[in-house]
Amino acid sequence: MPYIYEITQIKSPHFPWQVVAYLFVNGIAAGSFLVAALLQAFGGKTGRNGLHKAYYITFLFLPLCGLFLIGKLQIKTRFINVLWNSRDSMLMLNTNSPMSMGAWVLTVFSLFAVISVIYAINKDGLLHWRWFKKLGALAGYLHEGGLAAKIYLTVGSALAAWFGSYLGILVTTTHVPAWNATPFIPMLWLVSALAVGASAIILVLIFSKPKEYEALIQGLNRIVISALILNFAAIMIFVLSLGDWSHTVNSGHYAWLLWGGFVILGLLLPLLMKLKPGLLGSRSSLILSSFLVILGSLALRYVVIMGPQSFW
């Protein structure tokens, strides 16, 4: 019975701190790739200089996702077991299983992340080995090669979106009443990933060559403003959709973290700094607001994961 463990874990879950940490780095990794790929595919040719640096972020944070995800499992080999049926010696894909789909998306998305970081390294001219330059040329074609690039980036965007939201799908299948009461957790993770990913890219660009990447930084800043507004709407929809279970995120320190840590410090204050950059100066406002958006996403994930479990 290969799925007894999985059924037990999903229906009667215990999601420890590793899951919160996983969701945090997941939002950064998925959001950075999603924003960069969508802009490269559909954002036009202006203001794209420096966009490839987003792929470094995804590549660096993805291994952490794997470590936290495996760290949550009681038996570490279970991650392999949802990909490979050792009894029959064959690959295993169960489209009805969120865990199986999630493991496969993480695996395939990791391949896209490797291809994209090869493109970034080659574009920055960091490695000069002949064989690597050939790989870099192929990766460059998949990012800047017209129709082929648009297809690759669109598929990569879809994988990033799924990767950034699938644990929200996972928790809604559990027996935890608050998670089961709302279908909006995946939406919450996805819009949060957009804001977090764009903010992470802004920080990388600011601390590298801010003048050279000014057009891209301003474009990303506008994306963050829109994403923050979407996040505010999403959290309101989420809390209202909980109905009788809204107290699981609206009580005690969870309420302080949700409304103070996420909504005020992670959404409204960064939004104010972006709309009124003269308050602290343009550079300082960009840096501080970006850090606050990222830290606010950690508060959000902690509340949504830990709050409902504590009342179950």
55 Cβ neighbours under 8 A, 6+ residues apart: 32, 33, 36, 113, 116, 117, 119, 120
* Per-residue pLDDT, 75: 46
- Gap between the Cα atoms of 248 and 303, Å rounded: 9
Residue 269 located in a structural domain: yes
Residue 80 located in a structural domain: yes
Helix (H) or strand (E) holding 84: strand 84-85
Question: Cα 97 vs. chain centroid, distance in angstroms?
Answer: 21
Q: How many residues does the chain have?
A: 312
3-state per-residue secondary structure call for 258-291:
HHHHHHHHHHHHHHHHHHCHHHCCHHHHHHHHHH
- Gap between the Cα atoms of 309 and 291, Å rounded: 28
- Gap between the Cα atoms of 144 and 32, Å rounded: 18
Give the residue among 174, 177, 165, 192 at the shortest CA–CA distance from 247.
Answer: 177
Label residue 59 exposed, middle or buried (CB < 10 Å: 0-12, 13-18, 19+).
buried
Number of folded domains that form the chain:
1
Average pLDDT of adjacent 10-residue blocks, the chain of 312 residues: 42 72 94 96 78 96 84 57 60 62 79 96 89 91 90 95 88 85 93 97 91 91 97 96 93 95 97 92 94 97 92 72
Strand, coil or helix: 173: coil
* Per-residue pLDDT, 108: 87
DSSP at 47? T
Could you give the angle at the alpha carbon of 303 between the alpha carbons of 287 and 10, nearest 5°?
A: 125
- Gap between the Cα atoms of 133 and 183, Å rounded: 46
Give the residue among 86, 35, 58, 53 at the shortest CA–CA distance from 212.
Answer: 53
Structure token digits, residue 104? 């496969």
Query: pTM of the prediction?
Result: 0.89
CA torsion 22→74→1→108, rounded to 10°?
Answer: 30
Residue 142 located in a structural domain: yes
Residue 62 located in a structural domain: yes
Give the residue among 4, 6, 13, 294 at the shortest CA–CA distance from 179.
Answer: 13
Structure token digits, residue 160? 């990033």
Residue 312 located in a structural domain: no
* Per-residue pLDDT, 7: 40
* Per-residue pLDDT, 3: 40
* Per-residue pLDDT, 84: 55
Distances (CA, A) of 228 to 196, 265, 303: 9, 12, 18
* Per-residue pLDDT, 8: 43
Residue 58 located in a structural domain: yes
Question: Cα 245 vs. chain centroid, distance in angstroms?
Answer: 26
For residue 108, what are the domain limits? Answer: 4-307
Residue 252 located in a structural domain: yes
4 Cβ neighbours under 8 A, 6+ residues apart: none
Residue 199 located in a structural domain: yes
Task: Give the domain CATH number at 273.
Answer: 1.20.1630.10
Helix (H) or strand (E) holding 116: helix 98-124
